[in-house]
Amino acid sequence: MLITVLGAGLVGGPMALDLANDGYQILLADKDESRLMRYSGVYNIKTVLCDLSSEAAVQSVIKDADFVLSAVPGFMGFQTLKTIISAGKNVVDIAFFPENLFELDELAREKGVIAISDMGVAPGMSNLLTGYVDTLLDETHKVVIYVGGLPKVRTWPFEYKAVFSPVDVIEEYTRPARYVEHGELVVKPPLTDPELLTFNEVGTLEAFNSDGLRSLIDTVKAPFMIEKTLRYPGHIDKIKVMKEAGFFSETPVNFNGTDIRPLDFTTKILLPNWKLEKGEEDFTIMRIIVEGVKDHQKLHYQYDLYDEFDRKTGVHSMARTTGYVATMALRLLINNLYKRKGVSAPEQVGQCTGCMSFMLKGLRERGVNYRETITII
């Protein structure tokens, strides 16, 4: 069995290793030779230099694949997923793209393809667990998701690092935040409605509106749903200054006769500031709250995740909590446990009998543990 992994970054690489350790043959593709060099000679992994922004290149590199894992940057995600589906390949995708994933559902059905999109930590496990609890309740009334990935050492000025490209992170700060209130869709600017939350493991963090509900808005019928991103206190104000000053603008400006987008310049500057270096420790923290009614009883389901950089393997927490969700989802397909043709959102996988327990067991085996608390309210 051959699995092609598109992207050898801080998430794609660990996904390839996780699957290779189970004996699967992996073809790992990336345009960055230095990334691929890390996996040169690793048992069961073959690397290939490939410009994944090229549709023809993607078609070529997946042509012999039995399954595909896509870990390309968000701005490439939709087109890459479309190319994979068009090739008739079953796929799990972690790209955080702005387009509606269900736009590709008809194509996937026509091709007889199973495609699971947004399968990371959030969106991803946040959706899975929400969808799972939604099937347990007679009525779902409330969904609240808090999530953040942060460096353990706070370094001025941003006190932030990322395993994703800066462009994908900036999307969280610029894309309008959608949530549900009184059963109606509400749209607010990102970075709004700040609140402080205290967690035993890390102390106080600040939360702000972000567009993380994604497909949950369409698939789960609850009168109140919201997702918020977590950062160290003070981060919101720093990002707001940059945003209001135009550093995230996509409108070109002329500089010494050359038109450049401020966003491209900002991304170039932020990359070295936000890059998690090898061995630099990070953590992922998430809290998912789902409330509703079962047999006339009001219930509060809460799932808490705290995960740290793995010193033994050298894999960053955000890579573990994102990548292993995707590799476990791929194992669902390999083992024929999830069979729905078309494009699926993670919550639809969570609604599948047996899938949630399979996912949670696999994550526990990899040291990623979600703590469940159920209380009567």
pTM for this prediction: 0.92
Using CB atoms within 10 Å of the CB of residue 136, give its burial: 0 to 12 exposed, 13 to 18 middle, 19+ buried. Answer: middle
DSSP-assigned states of every residue in 323-372: HHHHHHHHHHHHTT-----EEE-HHHHHTSTTHHHHHHHHHHHTT--EEE
Residues 38, 95: one domain? yes
Q: pLDDT tens for residues 42-52?
A: 999 999 999 99
- Domain count for the chain, please give it: 2
Name the amino acid, one letter, at 3.
Answer: I
Do 203 and 259 belong to one domain? yes
Average pLDDT over residues 348-367: 96
> Residue 124 pLDDT > 80, yes or no?
yes
Q: Which domain holds residue 167?
A: 125-308
User: For 145-174, what is each residue's pLDDT tens digit?
Assistant: 999 999 999 989 899 988 666 777 888 899
Place of tokens 């190319």: 83
DSSP state of 275: B
Residues 164 and 293 in one domain: yes
Last residue of a domain, one of 256, 291, 308: 308
In a shared domain, residues 204 and 292: yes
Whether residue 189 is contained in a domain is answered as: yes
Q: pLDDT tens digits, residue range 211-258?
A: 989 999 999 999 999 999 999 999 999 999 999 999 999 999 998 999
Q: pLDDT value at position 163?
A: 66
* pLDDT, mean of residues 101-110: 96
Q: Is 65 a member of any domain?
A: yes
- DSSP tag of 276: P
Q: Is residue 101 part of a domain?
A: yes
156 and 82, same domain (yes or no): no
Q: Are residues 206 and 289 in the same domain?
A: yes
Q: What CATH number did the domain enclosing 256 receive?
A: 3.30.360.10
The pLDDT tens digits for 264-295 are: 999 888 888 888 877 889 999 999 999 999 99
Q: Is the pLDDT of residue 370 over 80?
A: yes
Task: Choose the final residue of a domain: 257, 284, 308.
Answer: 308
Does 193 share its domain with 248? yes
